[in-house]
């Protein structure tokens, strides 16, 4: 072949390869289609465990107002106590968290084995933890602290390879006349729905602030929208399209949670609500470490490391993510008990993380529990009785059985494997670096038993690995 022809042929070949490559990594055409969603969700389905942070002016009153206890969750103090905007916004002049250290917060997330961080950039009280041209009611313009907390935390997370996301209350905003939720200073939601003030609030505050968050702070892994009040107008027209379009346009890989209104990349369950059964659809359980999201000075009801590990394994074994919350104090410090307990979860994950990160859901289901035959709830529905003896997560050719309650046959610990037909090639404790084989017994009826021997750790979960022949589970 002559050199000119060779040159032309190689140009054609290069052009074809470039076209193939660009087609391979470009997002699929329809951003709301299943292919685009699955592409965006790849990291989310792998990482499983994130840190939620609720922090803002509400950490100052910390659950009390003028000496009176505000009932419920700490970040709702302005609403529960019907504090007028003119009074509540004065808290901004006192907000000076001199002990805030973004690196310490990001390091805690990493020590806990968490892979992404989501912080309240603006909660229902309307106060922004970032510099905003759309509203001076923000940490840089309205407080003596003057530092952009979102910027500092985003940088600290990036330094550690942690993904960074923001919670943004797109409907409720008790500081604004047009925001939903404040009917003690302003008209009702119904009035705002009709008089154009809610649409005006979306246009003048929400859209510009969302644009600032998606433009000024680097890659945002997800936007955690919340309480989608008024997100449909009285003709049932969806008001969130401009927000969805903005996210898809500015950062196409950013996930939208399940509380924007209609569009979402995954489902957000109710707070602290773990579904009873497994699902192939992506979901995330937002959960508190005690009983409040925002700091309360009187809430010391911390979940133990064992409780958090069970919830993590339980949620992952059902196919979901666990977004576990801390509520820092007004001085910028995360309460020590929540730090200590989270670090113990991290120590467990250092040894057993293979059973969590990138793991698939349980193929069984009997381990979750069942509906009672003769017990009904107030709605007359059968009551679900949850079991918590063991959970199962999976990877190709492997089961990870995490044992929380060990059966005993006399002094011997024994685990009865659930039914599956695959031949077993090895059984060992994940904590055993040598992967020394554990004894496996098969009864006449085919049931198989493992003696976890000295690897049992009753209080925070023992992971047994059962390696099987083939990658298809035969039941």
Give me 69's structure tokens: 């206890």
CB-based contact 70:82 (threshold 8 Å): no
CA quadruple 148, 150, 151, 154: dihedral, nearest 10? 160
Under the binding rule (CB under 6 A), the answer on residue 270 touching ligand JFZ is: yes
Pairing status of strand 398-403 against strand 407-409: unpaired
The minimum distance between CB 175 and ligand JFZ, in angstroms, equals 15
In 3D space, the residue among 101, 129, 230 whose CA is nearest the CA of residue 172 turns out to be 230
Q: How far apart are CA 112 and CA 121, in angstroms?
A: 22
Give the residue with the Cβ less far from ligand JFZ, 31 or 264: 264
CA-to-CA dists, residue 381 to 157, 327, 378, 387, 398, angstroms: 45, 36, 7, 19, 37
The minimum distance between CB 75 and ligand JFZ, in angstroms, equals 5
Among 193, 226, 257, 299, which residue sits at the site for ligand JFZ (rule: CB under 6 A)? 226
Give the residue with the Cβ less far from ligand JFZ, 384 or 449: 384
Give the residue with the Cβ less far from ligand JFZ, 30 or 271: 271
Give the residue with the Cβ less far from ligand JFZ, 135 or 268: 268
The minimum distance between CB 293 and ligand JFZ, in angstroms, equals 5
Q: Is 466 helix (H, G, I), strand (E, B) or coil?
A: strand
Non-local (6+) Cβ contacts of 169 within 8 A are 120, 122, 123, 124, 225, 226, 227
What are the phi and psi torsion angles at 150 (to 5°)? Answer: -60, -40
In 3D space, the residue among 130, 219, 207, 220 whose CA is nearest the CA of residue 170 turns out to be 207
The minimum distance between CB 273 and ligand JFZ, in angstroms, equals 7
Q: Is 199 helix (H, G, I), strand (E, B) or coil?
A: helix
Stretch that binds ligand JFZ, among 42-50, 73-81, 355-363, 443-451 (CB under 6 A): 73-81
Under the binding rule (CB under 6 A), the answer on residue 272 touching ligand JFZ is: no
The minimum distance between CB 42 and ligand JFZ, in angstroms, equals 25
Give me 437's structure tokens: 């084989």
Total number of residues that touch ligand JFZ (CB under 6 A): 9
Stretch that binds ligand JFZ, among 5-13, 24-32, 72-80, 365-373 (CB under 6 A): 72-80
Q: How far apart are CA 193 and CA 461, in angstroms?
A: 50
Give the residue with the Cβ less far from ligand JFZ, 179 or 286: 286
The minimum distance between CB 120 and ligand JFZ, in angstroms, equals 7
Under the binding rule (CB under 6 A), the answer on residue 257 touching ligand JFZ is: no
Under the binding rule (CB under 6 A), the answer on residue 293 touching ligand JFZ is: yes
> Computed from CA positions of residues 257, 273, 44, 154, in that sequence, does the dihedral angle turn out positive or negative?
positive
The minimum distance between CB 226 and ligand JFZ, in angstroms, equals 5
Which single residue brings its beta carbon nearest to ligand JFZ? 270
Q: Is 160 helix (H, G, I), strand (E, B) or coil?
A: coil
Give the residue with the Cβ less far from ligand JFZ, 226 or 265: 226
Q: How many CB atoms lie within 10 A of CB 9?
A: 11
Under the binding rule (CB under 6 A), the answer on residue 271 touching ligand JFZ is: yes
Among 39, 96, 204, 227, which residue sits at the site for ligand JFZ (rule: CB under 6 A)? 227
Give the residue with the Cβ less far from ligand JFZ, 96 or 291: 291
Q: How far apart are CA 322 and CA 334, in angstroms?
A: 19
The minimum distance between CB 51 and ligand JFZ, in angstroms, equals 13
The minimum distance between CB 85 and ligand JFZ, in angstroms, equals 18
Among 40, 59, 75, 399, which residue sits at the site for ligand JFZ (rule: CB under 6 A)? 75
242: left (phi over 0), alpha (psi -120 to 50) or beta: alpha
The minimum distance between CB 248 and ligand JFZ, in angstroms, equals 24
Among 51, 57, 73, 83, which residue sits at the site for ligand JFZ (rule: CB under 6 A)? 73
Instruction: Give residues in contact with ligand JFZ (CB under 6 A).
Output: 73, 75-76, 226-227, 270-271, 286, 293
């Amino acid at each position: 072949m002559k050199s000119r022809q060779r040159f032309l042929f190689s140009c054609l070949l290069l052009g074809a390869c470039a076209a193939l490559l660009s087609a391979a990594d470009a997002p699929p055409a329809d951003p709301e289609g299943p292919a685009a969603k699955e592409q965006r969700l790849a990291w989310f389905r792998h990482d499983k465990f994130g840190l939620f942070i609720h922090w803002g002016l509400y950490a100052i009153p910390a659950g009390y107002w003028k000496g009176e206890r505000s009932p419920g969750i700490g970040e709702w103090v302005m609403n529960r106590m019907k504090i007028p905007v003119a009074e509540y916004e004065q808290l901004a002049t006192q907000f000076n968290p001199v002990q805030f250290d973004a690196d310490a917060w990001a390091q805690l997330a990493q020590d806990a084995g968490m892979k992404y961080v989501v912080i309240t950039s603006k909660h229902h009280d309307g106060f922004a933890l970032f510099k905003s041209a759309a509203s001076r009611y923000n940490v840089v313009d309205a407080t003596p602290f003057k530092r952009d907390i979102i910027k500092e935390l985003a940088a600290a997370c990036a330094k550690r390879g942690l993904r960074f996301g923001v919670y943004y209350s797109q409907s409720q905003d008790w500081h604004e006349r047009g925001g939903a939720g404040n009917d003690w200073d302003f008209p009702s939601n119904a009035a705002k729905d009709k008089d154009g003030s809610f649409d005006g609030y979306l246009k003048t505050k929400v859209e510009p602030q969302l644009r600032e968050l998606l433009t000024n702070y680097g890659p945002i892994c997800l936007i955690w929208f919340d309480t989608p009040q008024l997100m449909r107008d009285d003709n049932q027209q969806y008001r969130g399209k401009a927000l969805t379009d903005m996210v898809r346009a500015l950062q196409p890989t950013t996930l939208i949670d399940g509380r924007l209104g209609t569009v979402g990349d995954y489902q957000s369950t109710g707070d602290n609500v773990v579904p009873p059964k497994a699902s192939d659809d992506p979901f995330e359980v937002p959960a508190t470490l005690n009983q409040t999201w925002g700091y309360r000075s009187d809430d010391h009801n911390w979940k133990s490391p064992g409780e958090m590990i069970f919830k993590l394994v339980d949620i992952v074994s059902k196919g979901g993510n666990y977004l576990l919350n801390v509520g820092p104090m007004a001085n910028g410090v995360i309460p020590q008990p929540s730090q200590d307990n989270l670090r113990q979860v991290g120590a467990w994950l250092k040894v057993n993380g293979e059973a969590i990160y990138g793991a698939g859901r349980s193929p069984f289901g009997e381990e979750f529990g069942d509906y009672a035959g003769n017990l009904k709830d107030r709605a007359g529905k059968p009551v679900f009785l949850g079991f918590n003896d063991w959970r199962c997560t999976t990877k190709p050719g492997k089961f990870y059985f995490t044992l929380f309650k060990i059966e005993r046959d006399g002094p011997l610990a024994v685990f009865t494997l659930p039914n599956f037909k695959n031949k077993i090639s090895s059984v060992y404790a994940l904590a055993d670096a040598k992967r020394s084989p554990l004894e496996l017994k098969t009864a006449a009826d085919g049931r198989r038993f493992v003696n976890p021997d000295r690897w049992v750790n009753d209080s925070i979960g023992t992971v047994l690995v059962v390696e099987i022949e083939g990658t298809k589970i035969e039941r």
